[in-house]
Amino acid sequence: MKKNKKNNYNFERKFQYGFETFIGKGTVTMILVLFGATIIVSCIVGFIKAGVFGGNPGKIIWDSFMHTLDAGTLAGDSIEDKPNVIFMTLMTVFGLCFTSVLIGIVNSSFEQKLYDMRHGKSKVMEKNHVVVLGYSYTLFKIIESLVEANANHKNQCVVVVGDEETEVMLDAIKSRVGDFKTTKLICRSGKVYEEYVLERASVESAKSVIINGRNDVHSIKTLLAFTSYIKDKQLYNPDLFVTVVIHDKKFVKAAKLAGGDRVEVIYAKDIISRMIAHACNQRGLCSVFDEVLDFYNNEIYCEHIPEVKGMRFHDALHSFEAQIPIGIYGLDGIDINPDMDRVIGDNDELIMFEADDGDFVLSKSKVEIDESVIKTEAVKSGDRNELVILGQNDRLDDILIEYDKSITNTAVVNIVDTADELKYELSKCTHLEISFIHIAEFNAESIRAVLKNREFNVLVLTDDDADYETADSESMLKLIELNAIAKETGNNFAITCEIRKSSNQRLAEIIGAENFVVGSNIGGLLSVQIAENRLMTDIFKELLSTEGAELYMKPVEDYVETGREMTFDTVLEAFARKNSIVLGFRKIDQKTGKATLKTCPRRRDKFVFNKGDMFVVLSEEW
């Protein structure tokens, strides 16, 4: 007896398992089971009624089935046939249950399909699109830049993959970006290092990939997943590559090993430190960096222009209506700010500073140079003012090293903080006299005591130990105190401020600082620039280093006569004779004191420059 019970128990378990496995195959299977059960019940009722009360079993089975499918059939039955009424009533009740379950199955299936559609479960059927892997705060700036970069190209597509729900990502991006112009945005939800998620995003058919990880470890894990996924795939773009931002130097080598030849690694800390160091003593330089990096005004592109073949680079400078050549890309690589006598070869491309790719217009008018306004004497290299640094973070040493490389004279640097001592070990600098000043708190009185009415430039660093909002709030309080001191003393010191979140920059600008380095934006902007053109890696590497050509702000009075009207062609010529390229200027309104940056002005337009105005210059030396 026990054996039979055990056998029955095993049979029951096997039957239950098989049944669950069968109906678990999907909606169609469940509907088939439901119809099968209905037919079986109809047959049982038909045979029972025919056997007990007589009648045609086939007809009874058919009647039973019809009562199951249509409850209204019962109303047409004769009440004289009592057994028939009883059996058909039972079948009608069973039919109501059948209909309810069927509706539930269909409704559930339909809801699941809608859910899958809303949450991006299908594979993206796009080609030559940009894939962004990772959902973090910098994503919004990346999307903004990609939209602007695609503005003059039709039917562009950006696919975002993140671990948030698709609807959440779409709503967040749309609320911050607004107008997507010619770009279609698609979101897919899932872990960015899962193979099936990469397949959904059609990574193998993308133009380029940007990894936007939450941190360096997450970025490298995603990079490994990308490399593994495309290893055996047939790529739509054989030169498919990935751009990744790394913030900690110890992970740079690991990222390069993980991505191999297909990765461009952006070491954000190094770039941010260089930008801060270069901007500390040059008013408005951060605005120039912003314009070069983003896609809103003028950017850098490589152009094949047959009309300039065989020309000297000097002559090519004057050959466009508003666009400015800044270098040559040839068989030997890039040459930023080349020798003015270099001849442009048949295989060379011009590296252009212009509003958009293909936006250049060749000039047909004669070049007119006003020799009387050009100063011919040699220009002395710029000196660095003393520098006060408010606060400390892990970029301090890199900033001082870069600052030291860029000067030849000796400069005093005072590091001011509420900490009892320096938090970081500083490298030895050749041209800097570094001292540490402890203060009780950052207020107007303590900062005024440090400045002592002397000509200092001020750098405000954010606190890495605080969250983004708190760090930026503390920086803005320091800006308020500095602005008050400047008004009280009439001391016109330049202020450079590090901001963590771009949304806080607008508030900081209201206070009155001139240079802002928004750390969270830099990596994202560079990622987009390189994703659009891999050659930008080498171009920005030179522009943001102390070797080769760099961007400078130079006083107009050192190069041209002030108060005199002149064309921009004349300004171009003044710098070309000193082996430099001018990209534009920063003019100060004589009434309001407000500064306006203008790059790529029209060559034949005329301007009057005054003392205090600055030229934006690409040059080999400060």
Q: pLDDT band for position 279 (50/70/90)?
A: confident
Among residues of the chain, what percentage have pLDDT more than 90? 47
587 - beta bridge partners? Answer: 596
* pLDDT for 506: 75
Please name the residue that has the structure tokens 């750098």: 459
Give the C-alpha separation, 305 to 350, whole Å: 7
Kindly give the pairing relationship between strand 614-619 and strand 550-555.
antiparallel
Q: Are 605 and 567 in contact (CB under 8 A)?
A: yes
pLDDT of residue 127: 93
Beta strands, E only, 115-197: 130-133, 156-162, 183-189
SS3 helix, strand, coil % of the chain, rounded to 5?
45, 20, 35
Residue among 50, 36, 89, 83 at smallest CA distance from 67 = 89
Q: What is the pLDDT of residues 414-423, one digit of tens each?
A: 999 999 999 9
- Torsion over CA: 191, 196, 201, 203 (sign): positive
pLDDT at 53 over 70: no
Which of 108-122, 309-323, 330-344, 464-478 has the least mean pLDDT?
A: 108-122
* pLDDT on residue 3: 52
The confidence score (pLDDT) of residue 549 equals 87
Q: Where in the chain is the domain with CATH 3.40.50.720?
A: 130-273
Triad 210, 216, 219: Cα angle to 5°: 35
Maximum mean pLDDT: which of 373-382, 395-404, 503-512:
395-404
Band (16; pLDDT cuts 50, 70, 90) = low
Cα–Cα distance for residue pair 526/271, rounded to 1 Å: 10
Contact 112, 192 (CB under 8 A): no
Residue 379 DSSP one-character state? P
Specify the amino acid at residue 550: E
List phi, psi (to 5°) of 394: -75, -5
Residue-level pLDDT at 106: 66
Answer yes or no: is pLDDT of 137 > 90: no
Amino acid (1-letter code) at residue 447? I
The whole-angstrom separation of Cα 417 and Cα 464 is: 14
- Asked if 559 and 379 touch (Cβ cutoff 8 Å), the reply is yes
Superfamily classification of domain 130-273: NAD(P)-binding Rossmann-like Domain (3.40.50.720)
Judge whether residue 46 has pLDDT over 90: no
pLDDT higher than 80, residue 104: no
Give dist(CA 179, CA 19) in Å, integer.
Answer: 52
- Encode pLDDT of 204-257 as tens digits: 999 999 999 989 999 999 999 999 999 989 999 999 999 999 999 999 999 999
Strands (E), 122-217: 130-133, 156-162, 183-189, 208-211
What is the band of 261 on the pLDDT scale with cuts at 50, 70, 90?
Answer: very high
Region 251-271 average pLDDT:
94
Instruction: With CA atoms as reference, report the closest residue to 548 among 327, 267, 343.
Output: 327
Tell me the three-class secondary structure of 240-267, residue by residue: CCEEEEECCHHHHHHHHHHHHHHEEEEE
Whether the per-residue pLDDT at 539 is higher than 70: the answer is: yes
Q: Give one word for 534, left, alpha or beta, with left for phi > 0 and alpha for psi -120 to 50.
A: alpha
Q: How confident is the model at residue 76 (pLDDT cuts 50, 70, 90)?
A: low
> How confident is the model at residue 26, as a pLDDT?
64
Mean pLDDT of the chain: 85
Contact 344, 316 (CB under 8 A): yes
Q: What is the pLDDT of residue 25?
A: 60
Q: Which of 443, 525, 467, 409 is nearest to 140 (CA)?
A: 525
Q: Mean pLDDT, to the nearest integer, of 165-169?
A: 88
Q: Does domain 386-493 have CATH number 3.30.310?
A: no
The band of 103, judged by pLDDT with boundaries at 50, 70 and 90, is low
Secondary structure class of 318 (helix, strand, coil): coil
Q: pLDDT tens-digit profile of 554-594?
A: 999 999 999 999 999 999 999 999 999 999 999 998 888 78
DSSP class per residue in 437-470: EE-SS-SHHHHHHHHTT--EEEEE---TTS-HHH
Q: 414 with 437: CB under 8 angstroms?
A: yes
Residue 316: pLDDT over 60: yes
> Would you give the distance in Å from CA 508 to the centre of its chain?
22
542 touches 336 (CB < 8 A): yes
H/E element, 334: strand 333-336
Q: What pLDDT is stored for residue 327 in this prediction?
A: 96
- Smallest Cα–Cα separation from 622: which of 546, 571, 556? 546
What pLDDT is stored for residue 43 in this prediction? 80
Residue by residue, DSSP assigns 555-619 as EGGGTB-TT-EEEHHHHHHHHHTTT-EEEEEEEEPTTT--EEEEES--TT-EEE--BTBEEEEEE
The helix or strand, by DSSP H or E, that contains position 377, with its residue range, turns out to be: none
Q: Count of residues for the chain? A: 622
- At 52, the pLDDT band (50, 70, 90 cuts) reads low
Kindly indicate the confidence band of residue 528, based on its pLDDT and cuts at 50, 70 and 90: very high
Per the CB < 8 A criterion, the answer to whether 153 and 200 are in contact is no
> Which of residues 3 and 364 earns the better pLDDT score?
364
- Higher pLDDT: 232 or 491? It is 232
**For residues 149 and 526, what is the distance between their CA atoms, to the nearest angstrom?**
13
Checking if the pLDDT of 72 tops 60, the result is no
On the question of pLDDT at 19 being above 60, the answer is no
For residue 267, what are the β-bridge partners? 246
pTM (two decimals): 0.80
Of the candidates 129, 161, 126, 133, which has an alpha carbon nearest to the alpha carbon of residue 146? 129
Separation in Å, CA 285 to CA 80, 99, 228, 617: 100, 73, 41, 10
Provide the pLDDT for residue 513: 63
Q: Which CATH number fits domain 14-118: 1.25.40, 1.10.10, 1.10.20, 1.10.287?
A: 1.10.287
What's the pLDDT tens digit per position in 407-440?
Answer: 778 889 999 999 999 998 999 999 899 999 999 9
Q: Which residue do the tokens 């705060």 mark? A: 137
At residue 179, the pLDDT reads: 87
Mean pLDDT in residue range 374-391: 78
E strands within 276-318? 299-303
